[in-house]
Amino acid sequence: MTVIEIGHLLRAGTTGCVVGCSVSQISAPQFGGMVRINPEGSGDYHIYGLITNIHIDDDGLVRQLVTAADIKPEIISDNRMNRNVPVEISVLFIGYAQQKAIYHLLPPRPPLTLDAIYLCTPVEHVQFTGAGHFGYFRHILRASDLPVGELLAAHLRQVTNNHKDQGNPEWLGNATQELITLLRDDYPTLMSVLGALSDTRLNY
């Protein structure tokens, strides 16, 4: 299985981090995608997270270019490929693995700057999301500043088929049921999450 690197760490905290990458790498990561960080020199300590935001900041040149009347394609291409400001990817930590055991808890220490970030493989998807009983939903539901419904919908859409391929078609139903249990006292959020899940067109 090919391991896809999507960038290097810019800054981090206990609950999440921001990763920088060049525009040429932007096709791989997607909103809701699961990533893994293996902090350098920490052996089999892996931190797992979900991409919650992909942010493209402007710079001085692009501010001038957008007002130009006629921008040539090569200028656009040059601006994108050679720009100095990286694309920023926000990651929400959802757990970690240590000595081959998976924990749906916040990582004990954050990764360091310039640690490499990788997209999780389907096998890692299944291993991490299939461990325990959806404890990592806690971290997602706590993030009130995020579009929780959209994030969960994107995450479930990416992971469900991997579980199906691994012979666990009930995973989606179980995950949805757990979300309902966790959110049944919060009617607006639950209906927003279920509305988003409906739009995934996943087969229940």
Partner 1 sequence: MGNDISETIGYIVGGGLKDNLRVRLTIPPQQVQEGGFVVIESGDWHFYGLVTDLQLGSTDPRFADEQSERRLPEGIASLLHGQTLYTNLEVLPALMLETGPDLSSERYAEWRKSLGDREPRLIPVKTVPAHHAPVRLAQAGDIAAIFGDSSQPGNFIVGYTREQNHPLCINLDKFVQRSSGIFGATGTGKSFLTRIILAGLIHYNRSSVLVFDMHNEYGYDDTASDTNQRVIGLRTKFPGRVRIVGLGRGASIRGQAPDFNLEIDEKDIEPEDIELLYSELNLKETTPTTLAALLHTFGKNWYHQFKIMKVGTFVETEEGKRVPAPGSVAAWADEVGVNVMAAEALHGKMSRMFNKPYIVEQSVKNSVQEIIKLLEAGLHVILSFGDYETDLDYLLVSNLLTRRIRETWVKTTNEYRSKKNPEPRQLVIVVEEAHKLLNREMAKQTIFSTIAREMRKYSVTLLIIDQRPSQIYDEVLSQLGTRISGWLGDDADIQAVLSGLAGRDHLRGMLSRLQPKEEVLLLGWGVPMPMPVRSRRYDDRFWQELLGKGNEPENEEEIKKKLGF
Asked if 198 is part of the footprint of partner 1 (rule: CB under 8 A), the reply reads yes
Binding-site member from 166, 184, 189, 192 for partner 1 (CB under 8 A) = 184
Query: Who's near 51: CB < 8 A, 6+ residues apart?
Result: 29, 30, 31, 32, 33, 34, 35, 89, 90, 91
Q: Give the shortest CB-92-to-partner 1 separation in angstroms.
A: 24
State which residue, 145 or 185, has the beta carbon closest to partner 1. Answer: 185
Give the residue from 119, 120, 116, 118 showing the smallest Cα distance to 8: 116
Asked if 185 is part of the footprint of partner 1 (rule: CB under 8 A), the reply reads yes
State which residue, 54 or 182, has the beta carbon closest to partner 1. Answer: 182
Cα end-to-end span (Å), the chain = 28
Q: Give the shortest CB-76-to-partner 1 separation in angstroms.
A: 42
Asked if 204 is part of the footprint of partner 1 (rule: CB under 8 A), the reply reads yes
Two structure tokens written together for 75: 């200028």
In the region spanning residues 121 to 180, those forming contacts with partner 1, defined by CB under 8 A, are 173, 176-177, 180
Residue type, 96: Y
Stretch that binds partner 1, among 19-27, 34-42, 159-167, 187-195 (CB under 8 A): 187-195
Crossing angle for the helix pair 171-183 and 187-198, nearest 10 degrees?
160
Two structure tokens written together for 120: 């999780």
State which residue, 113 or 198, has the beta carbon closest to partner 1. Answer: 198
State which residue, 44 or 170, has the beta carbon closest to partner 1. Answer: 170
